């Protein structure tokens, strides 16, 4: 957008100020104002006003008032009571204007740095004062807290001293106590086992020792059972003696009654009563013996213990005695078939992204459709290098260079020693602008065309010419032009190569 210089401004002056009225056209939303020393600039695109003032002004004491139609600049003069003959300096050139602008920018930059430095220092000073004030406030608060704490501590100590001075004396102050021994003094633990027992524990027990310990434990159990039986017998005897005492007491009472009341009884009755009592005692004894026998029979392992004591060991049926039952049968062998779904990517499904893979396959399919040649669609009889060369030539003639490169490349995979495939693929790469690939194919073709003979002279000339042209396209004429000249030596009558050599020398300004 072109800039328009404002010329219809007005100005007037007094002893202290210079008043400048600048019309604002188009009702601009933003007006840029830059005033410093003897330079003033007002801009609101596409309008601009640039003034090189006659005298210097004071920026801090100047002001600007914006209205809808005008911008009123009130500029304070540096030298008061001096009238300006003109607003601008007359008869100035471009160099003066440029120097004035640079000087104004430098002074503005210095002034901005000074202001920023002043603000930074002021901010730091205020921060330091604020920190000092906060420290003073915290100190006064802590001093108050310490004073209150000391006052409470002193009051508590004063109360404690008063209580201790007024406390009553102990009642038994003259009685002296006797020192007694401490009943809960430390006593070392009892040593339940000897060193020999510890040594025995450290080694494994033999079969004889195991049998001896087993027999001793069973004997101890039998003794305990016999002691229990003897205690039961004592209880039975005690019960019998008590019953006899009761009978005797009854007899004495009856005899007394007889003597008192002349009560006569037959001797047969007394005999019957004594017999009954004897029978009841026998019955009780028999019942106790039966209970003891049942109790002994109910205890497990008694038969084995008795047999072991007598030297006879009982043999019981054990599952490990039968080899067919002790050793489990081997498991039947089988085959586990694991099948995986077909994947076109080497990574497993759990580590890949299905969406990205499908998108990549779709793009590859579109690229193959765009090329028009897919090696997967070839029949077995079409997988021949010569057939692929002819197919690539057909694609090259119709300017389908990508398909031609694919056909030539697949033919090279089948036969790497066929130089014509490299020569034709270099032409396709040159047509697409792949100059580096073109140079590689030309070099490979020249290596394969050995020995050099008349039948491959034209092919070698084409390779040199195409490699030289590709090098010139890559801005390497020092290598490309010699290649073109080598091709011209092989075919001196080729007009196209002559034109290419002349054009390359003219383009790169190379003189013979």
- The CATH number for 441's domain is 1.25.40.10
Whether residues 125 and 79 share a domain: the answer is no
Q: Is the peptide bond before 451 cis (omega within 30 degrees of 0)?
A: yes
Q: Is residue 118 part of a domain?
A: yes
**Which strand (E) or helix (H) includes residue 54?**
none
Confidence of residue 368 (pLDDT cuts 50, 70, 90): confident
**Which strand (E) or helix (H) includes residue 104?**
helix 94-166
> Which residue range(s) make up the domain with 207?
190-220
- The CATH number for 71's domain is 2.60.40.790
Most confident of 26-35, 52-61, 284-293, 482-491: 482-491
Whether residues 429 and 474 share a domain: the answer is yes
End-to-end CA distance of the chain: 51
The values of phi and psi at residue 49, to 5°, are -135, 120
Residues with Cβ within 8 Å of 380's Cβ and at least 6 positions away in sequence, in order, are: none
CB atoms within 10 A of CB 46: 11
The values of phi and psi at residue 231, to 5°, are -60, -40
Whether residues 492 and 482 share a domain: the answer is yes
Contact, 115 vs 59, CB < 8 A?
A: no
Using the 3D structure, point to which of 70, 91, 112 is the last residue of a domain: 91
Rg of the Cα trace of the chain? 64
Whether residues 80 and 103 share a domain: the answer is no
Average pLDDT over residues 415-433: 93
What letter would DSSP give residue 91?
Answer: S
Confidence of residue 303 (pLDDT cuts 50, 70, 90): low
How many structural domains are present in the chain? 4
pLDDT at 465: 94
Whether residues 65 and 16 share a domain: the answer is yes
Whether residues 74 and 84 share a domain: the answer is yes
Q: How far is CA 154 from CA 144, 149, 151, 158, 166, in A?
A: 15, 9, 5, 6, 18
Whether residues 431 and 504 share a domain: the answer is yes
Q: Is residue 214 part of a domain?
A: yes
pLDDT at 187: 60
Whether residues 459 and 486 share a domain: the answer is yes
Q: Is the peptide bond before 438 cis (omega within 30 degrees of 0)?
A: no
pLDDT at 396 over 80: yes
Confidence of residue 147 (pLDDT cuts 50, 70, 90): very high
Contact, 22 vs 51, CB < 8 A?
A: no
Whether residues 443 and 477 share a domain: the answer is yes
Q: Is residue 41 part of a domain?
A: yes
Confidence of residue 237 (pLDDT cuts 50, 70, 90): low
pLDDT at 471: 93
Using the 3D structure, point to which of 59, 91, 123 is the last residue of a domain: 91
Q: Is residue 16 part of a domain?
A: yes
Q: How far is CA 305 from CA 34, 298, 302, in A?
A: 122, 14, 5
Structure tokens at 316: 């019981």
Q: Is residue 294 part of a domain?
A: no
Judged by average pLDDT, the poorest of 62-76, 245-259, 347-361 is 245-259
Q: What is the pTM of this model?
A: 0.34
pLDDT at 428 over 90: yes
Q: Is residue 212 part of a domain?
A: yes
Whether residues 27 and 37 share a domain: the answer is yes
User: pLDDT tens digits for 97-145?
Assistant: 777 878 888 888 888 888 888 898 999 999 999 999 999 999 999 999 9
Using the 3D structure, point to which of 91, 120, 137 is the last residue of a domain: 91
Whether residues 125 and 144 share a domain: the answer is yes
Q: Is residue 269 part of a domain?
A: no
**Which strand (E) or helix (H) includes residue 8?**
none
- Evaluated on CA atoms 444, 446, 449, 455, the torsion sign reads positive
Whether residues 10 and 56 share a domain: the answer is yes
Q: Is residue 206 part of a domain?
A: yes
Judged by average pLDDT, the poorest of 47-51, 122-126, 174-178, 292-296 is 292-296
């Amino acid at each position: 957008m072109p800039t328009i210089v404002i010329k219809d401004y007005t100005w007037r002056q007094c002893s202290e100020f210079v008043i400048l009225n600048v019309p604002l056209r188009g009702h601009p939303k933003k007006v840029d104002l830059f005033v410093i020393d003897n330079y003033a600039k007002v801009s609101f695109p596409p309008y601009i006003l640039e003034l090189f003032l006659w005298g210097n002004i004071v920026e801090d004491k100047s002001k600007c008032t914006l209205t809808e139609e005008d911008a009123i600049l009130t500029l304070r003069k540096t030298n008061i009571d001096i009238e300006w003959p003109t607003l601008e300096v007359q008869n100035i050139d471009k160099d003066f204007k440029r120097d004035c602008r640079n000087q104004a920018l430098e002074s503005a930059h210095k002034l901005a740095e000074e202001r920023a430095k002043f603000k930074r220092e002021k901010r730091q000073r205020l921060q330091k004062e604020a920190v000092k004030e906060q420290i003073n406030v915290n100190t006064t608060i802590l001093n108050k807290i310490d004073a209150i704490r000391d006052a409470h501590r002193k009051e508590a100590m004063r109360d404690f001293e008063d209580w201790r001075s007024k406390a009553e004396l102990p009642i038994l102050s003259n009685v002296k106590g006797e020192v007694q021994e401490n009943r809960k003094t430390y006593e070392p633990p009892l040593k339940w086992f000897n060193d020999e027992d510890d040594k025995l524990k450290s080694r494994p027990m033999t079969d004889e020792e195991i049998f001896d310990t087993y027999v001793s434990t069973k004997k101890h159990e039998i003794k305990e059972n016999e002691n229990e039986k003897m205690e039961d017998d004592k209880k039975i005897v005690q019960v019998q003696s008590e019953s006899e005492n009761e009978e005797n007491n009854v007899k004495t009472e009856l005899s007394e009654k007889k003597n008192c009341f002349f009560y006569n009884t037959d001797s047969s009755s007394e005999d019957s009563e004594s017999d009954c009592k004897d029978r009841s005692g026998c019955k009780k004894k028999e019942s106790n013996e039966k209970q003891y026998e049942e109790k002994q029979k109910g205890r497990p392992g008694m038969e084995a213990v008795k047999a072991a004591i007598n030297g006879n060991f009982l043999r019981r049926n054990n599952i490990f005695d039968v080899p067919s039952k002790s050793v489990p049968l081997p498991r039947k062998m089988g085959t586990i078939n694991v099948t995986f779904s077909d994947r076109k990517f080497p990574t497993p499904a759990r580590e890949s992204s299905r969406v990205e893979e499908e998108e990549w396959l779709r793009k590859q399919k579109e690229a193959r459709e765009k090329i028009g040649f897919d090696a997967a669609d070839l029949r077995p009889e079409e997988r021949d290098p010569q057939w692929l060369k002819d197919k690539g030539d057909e694609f090259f003639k119709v300017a389908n260079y990508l398909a031609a490169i694919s056909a030539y490349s697949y033919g090279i995979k089948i036969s790497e020693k066929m130089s014509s495939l490299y020569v034709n693929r270099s032409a396709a790469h040159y047509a697409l602008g792949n100059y580096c690939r073109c140079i590689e194919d030309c070099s490979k073709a020249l290596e394969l065309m050995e020995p050099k003979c008349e039948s491959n002279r034209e092919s070698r000339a084409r390779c040199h010419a195409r490699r030289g042209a590709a090098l010139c396209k890559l801005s390497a004429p020092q290598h490309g032009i010699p290649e073109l000249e080598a091709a011209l030596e092989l075919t001196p009558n080729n007009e196209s190569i002559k034109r290419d050599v002349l054009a390359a020398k003219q383009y790169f300004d190379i003189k013979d």
